[in-house]
Structure 1
């Protein structure tokens, strides 16, 4: 199923020169991953501490875009510049899950937003990522199947943040969006599990 993740090769091509410059400057892939994690935690903290403020919401799409760029850059540095390590692979997967939780759970603190759905979406997202990571354990590759992978979640929550940030009052429409996100998250878990099993069987 098509997903925003399919655009990753083009995105990486744009960032490849920057990754090379960072390597030349002595930066490490793990350092870039850490920077993305710290930025995500700071953004999440701002949303949690000021749930009624609009500026953290309007800042979120920028943070998500920068995070996506850093995630692509650390991958390029690891795979194309000899910085791939087991520690880095573990750190990368864990930081993604922690960052998602830090960036999205604060939506539950916004008055009028259905907190239960926010939590369920984050839980489904975590399970989806775990399902993808478990691919190698059953003889398959790491699965990134959609329809609601990391990039898609970033787009959905970023759009939601902008709508709330420009002053739209949360209500039934936010609940419907979150319910749709939950359904897509569950479908993603099923898709990754099924495709992983199919790949392993072959």
Structure 2
């Protein structure tokens, strides 16, 4: 299996898990699938990088697939939470858009003479942890009063900080 096949597999897994949540209108059992899919996705992301480096499979196509796959996977896994009762659809959409922007700004570091920016506080792994825990809480039947809104507002705020931090470091041409 090639690194690119692993990358595509992670994206397909994310799309399948997100579709399950979306089509079930956020049924509790489908929300339990999200943390599992996130765990496997993160493992596959690590594996594709190791394959590319250690077996000489790195390529421009692979780099593009990796970056696009991350954004598509985020959208596929996180956007369906907008249909979950008790979760604010506008805040979910805002978080998904900001997550994509944070990845775009991270890539721009290369354009300005530095490396790919991975600065936080709400990078890919942090988002996976936050959305995974949120999904797990929903799946476990936790009451859905105000706390999901507070969590989503926190994610949105941390994404804004991440975007500004990455942009600042990218413009300085700093190394990741």
Task: Tell me, yes or no, whether TM beats 0.5.
Answer: yes
1: distance between equivalents of 2:60 and 2:112? Answer: 18
2: distance between equivalents of 1:97 and 1:188? Answer: 15
Q: Determine the structure 1 residue equivalent to 2:4.
A: 30
1: distance between equivalents of 2:174 and 2:35? Answer: 37
Is 1:147 aligned to residue 121 of structure 2?
yes
For the aligned residue pairs, the C-alpha RMSD in angstroms reads 1.2
2: distance between equivalents of 1:52 and 1:96? Answer: 22
- On the 8 A contact 2:119/2:165 being kept in 1, the answer is yes
Consecutive unaligned residues in structure 1, runs of 5 or more: 1-26
Deviation at 1:198, TM superposition (A): 2.1
> So what's the TM-score if we normalise by structure 1?
0.84
- On the 8 A contact 2:105/2:167 being kept in 1, the answer is yes
1:62-111 CA-to-partner distances (Å, cap 9, x unmatched) read 11011000000000111121000000100110011000000000110012
1: distance between equivalents of 2:8 and 2:60? Answer: 15
Aligned positions of 1:1-202 closer than 5 A = 27-200=1-174
Deviation at 1:200, TM superposition (A): 5.0
- On the 8 A contact 1:41/1:103 being kept in 2, the answer is yes
* Higher gyration radius (CA): 1
Deviation at 1:171, TM superposition (A): 2.7
Deviation at 1:52, TM superposition (A): 3.8
Deviation at 1:55, TM superposition (A): 1.3
> So what's the TM-score if we normalise by structure 2?
0.96
